[in-house]
Amino acid sequence: MLDTLAIRTRRTTASRLATRDEAPLEFGKLFSDHMFVVDYRDGEWQDAQIMPFGDMPVSPANSALHYGQAIFEGMKAYPTDGGGVALFRPLDNWARLNASAERMCMPAIPEELFMQGLKELVRLDAPWVPSVPGGALYIRPFMFATDGMLGVRPSDTYRFAVITCPVDLYYTKPLRVRFEQKYVRSAEGGAGFAKNAGNYGAAMYPTKLAQEEGYNQLIWTDASEHQYVEESGTMNIAFVIDGKLVTPALSTSILDGITRRSVLQLAHDLGVPVEERRVSSREIIAALEAGTLHEAFGVGTAATIAPIATIGYEGHDYELPAAAPDALSKRIGAALGAIRTGQAPDPHGWVVPVGE
């Protein structure tokens, strides 16, 4: 078992911090100075280190490149009111990473290794955490197979790494989305619940087609009937229908989003009825026509809470009313923001300071 206290740190001698532009940041383009890296070989995790962010050599026969044994997480660190930096629900990401790892025949990461690597990295790169409203340090833990061998079988060796980047809001204006009724993101029994790279790669082509039609994202529907809502491209999805918060129930084809969990909990705390169940595209359109669909929004780590302005269905665009100042999505977004930054109490124990 790896001694989790033994993370070697090699600091950069050429920090890029001073050259950082304060202009709005395009998501995922600018990376902080350091990364955390640990390798799995001979049945254990070894050589944990924090080093300058940079390229990693891989074998051209790397089986992640050929067969897609690659998983990731998305999480954020926020500046807190007390002048520190805190992670949001990191143990939920750790547990989900390991659930993805199991589905993809990859080794689990021990909790102490994940948490210690993460905290040391974020402490070291704390000056990169943006202090602008809505800004955060996006954290991307990921694991990939490193065997250089073309046989189709699980790799024997892996690398786990964490990189971080300062970000603003992922979506800056209300979204145009449409129901997808031809392509499929994932079927029941597939790997849709896991955060494996292939789920995202395979979604790019149908998403590109929708973007060419003027939409930002798709609303994926179930693989067998194309009737039931699953999730939206980079986020889960929720609707406010008749005063209730309605979202598709989890299944093997839907990502168990951590922002989704938080939003449902906060709605419950606000006394709003929450329904996790099957939601059909027809129900959404009927509610739009009847005027009982008050809000629709995406929820995700990168996207945070992203209001939806337009929903396309069978060639017709349906407009949603603009979100009122007391809209549920706004109230939940404000409550979530206040907890993350320490401006409000954290009754569910979601906030984990990275320490001095």
Quick one: 62 or 234, whose CB is closer to ligand COI? 234
Smaller CB distance to ligand COI: residue 74 or 107? 74
Residue nearest to ligand COI (CB): 74
Count of residues engaged in binding ligand COI, rule: CB under 6 A: 7
| Closer by beta carbon to ligand COI, 137 or else 302 | 302
Interactions with ligand COI, residue window 69-88 (CB under 6 A): 74
User: Phi/psi of residue 258, each to 5°?
Assistant: -80, -35
Which residues inside 98-157 make contact with ligand COI, applying CB under 6 A?
Answer: none
Q: For ligand COI, which is the closer residue by CB, 138 or 179?
A: 138
Q: Which is nearer to ligand COI, 201 or 214 (CB)?
A: 201
Stretch that binds ligand COI, among 85-93, 120-128, 206-214, 296-304 (CB under 6 A): 296-304
The region of 214-222, 245-253, 300-308, 331-339 touching ligand COI under the rule CB under 6 A is 300-308
| Interface with ligand COI, residue 234, by CB under 6 A | yes
Q: Which of 302, 328, 351, 354 binds ligand COI (CB under 6 A)?
A: 302
Cβ proximity to ligand COI, 73 vs 222, nearer residue: 73
Q: Which of 300, 307, 312, 342 binds ligand COI (CB under 6 A)?
A: 300
Least distance to ligand COI, CB of residue 118, Å: 15
Piece of 10-18, 108-116, 117-125, 299-307 that binds ligand COI (CB under 6 A)? 299-307
Positions touching ligand COI (CB under 6 A) are 74, 200, 234, 300-303
